[in-house]
Amino acid sequence: IQWFPGHMTKAKRMMEQQLKLVDVVVEMLDARIPRSSSNPMLIQMLGDKPKVVALNKIDMADPEKTEKWLQTFKNSGLPVCKVDCSTGKGVKQMVAAIQQVARPVTDKWLRKGVRNRSIRVMIVGVPNVGKSTLINRLVGKNKVVAADRPGVTRGQQWVTIAKGLELLDTPGVLWPKFEDPEVGFCLAVTGAIKEDVYDRETAVELLLERLMHIYPEDLRVKYAIDFSEAEPVREVMAKIAVARGCLKAGGVLDIDKVIQLVLRDFRTGRLGRFTLDEPSENN
């Protein structure tokens, strides 16, 4: 998906339509970049609809920073939970959090005498945060409810995932925010935006510079190299090339191969558990 302004307007309109169908929204964020993977427009679109924040990919994020991020969200009054879709850890707690934030809604229904109505939920987030993976986990063998309600596109279905709780089996795709170069960088290296919209070489240089400062030991150990934090990043790339045999004929360094290697190692978590967005200290 390319996010030109026209597409964003259309995506926003679609999201607003979809939001009308649900009582609770789960905003999924990438725990490595909770700030960069959020979409500030969602708050406006939600109005007073309850929201649960789900931090995903915690298996790849820095555990200490994840705890700080959880605290930051809690301090701002947002229900938050961590999920690891690769193992299913935390999914039950997330369902409980959804039921809890929905309580005012169900209480209102009770007061109005509405019975047997299920809470409807949708999972939203920027591309590649793990929405489909979570939906598959939640849906599993659960019962599919025919989507005979207005607004639900053909092919979309409601699935009962807990007593009185129905999930829309299609996620809401939010557009990433590109305006801030720092955010663009975080989205690029984690794989949330397509490779043809940014320069891989620049992204990997920035990534290595960042890691050299915040996680130097992981880099040293994983690539079996040594460097000082003040060293130019190109020199560190050359060291990685030598250590990993990224060489062309005649012993020339194959920088393209280093770029590929570092990006892959970062994205698979093989380099270590990293969080690029720093949790704020003051809230």
Binding residues for GTP: 56-59, 128-133, 172
Grouping H, G, I as helix, E, B as strand and the rest as coil, residue 122 is strand
Q: Does 273 bind ligand GDP (CB under 6 A)?
A: no
Least spacing, CB of residue 273 vs ligand GDP, in Å: 10
Q: Does 82 bind ligand GDP (CB under 6 A)?
A: no
- Residues at the annotated binding site? 56-59, 128-133, 172
CA-to-CA distance for 72 and 53, rounded, in angstroms? 12
Q: Does 106 bind ligand GDP (CB under 6 A)?
A: no
Q: Does 59 bind ligand GDP (CB under 6 A)?
A: yes
Nearer to ligand GDP, 140 or 164 (CB): 140
CA-to-CA distance for 165 and 102, rounded, in angstroms? 10
| From candidates 45, 46, 49, 128, binder to ligand GDP by CB under 6 A | 128
The residue range among 16-24, 81-89, 181-189, 255-263 that interacts with ligand GDP, by the rule CB under 6 A, is 81-89
Least spacing, CB of residue 258 vs ligand GDP, in Å: 23
The residue range among 42-50, 57-65, 66-74, 147-155 that interacts with ligand GDP, by the rule CB under 6 A, is 57-65
CA-to-CA distance for 274 and 59, rounded, in angstroms? 10
Residues 13/110, Cβ–Cβ less than 8 Å: no
Least spacing, CB of residue 94 vs ligand GDP, in Å: 12
CA-to-CA distance for 97 and 139, rounded, in angstroms? 17
The residue range among 80-88, 204-212, 214-222, 248-256 that interacts with ligand GDP, by the rule CB under 6 A, is 80-88
Least spacing, CB of residue 54 vs ligand GDP, in Å: 10
Torsion, Cα of 83, 86, 92, 93 (10° steps): -20
CA-to-CA distance for 86 and 56, rounded, in angstroms? 9
Q: Does 127 bind ligand GDP (CB under 6 A)?
A: yes
Nearer to ligand GDP, 128 or 260 (CB): 128
Q: Does 132 bind ligand GDP (CB under 6 A)?
A: yes
The residue range among 11-19, 126-134, 221-229, 231-239 that interacts with ligand GDP, by the rule CB under 6 A, is 126-134
Q: Does 193 bind ligand GDP (CB under 6 A)?
A: no
Residues 132/119, Cβ–Cβ less than 8 Å: no
Q: Does 56 bind ligand GDP (CB under 6 A)?
A: yes
Least spacing, CB of residue 127 vs ligand GDP, in Å: 5
223, HSE (Cβ side, Cα atoms, 13 Å): 29
Give the Cβ contact number of residue 78 at 10 Å.
Answer: 13
- Could you tell me where the DSSP H helices lie in the chain? 5-19, 41-46, 63-75, 91-101, 103-111, 131-139, 181-190, 200-214, 216-223, 233-244, 255-267
Phi and psi for 102 in degrees, rounded to 5?
Answer: -80, -10
In the complex, which residues of this chain contact ligand GDP (CB under 6 A)?
Answer: 56-57, 59-60, 84-86, 125, 127-133, 171, 269
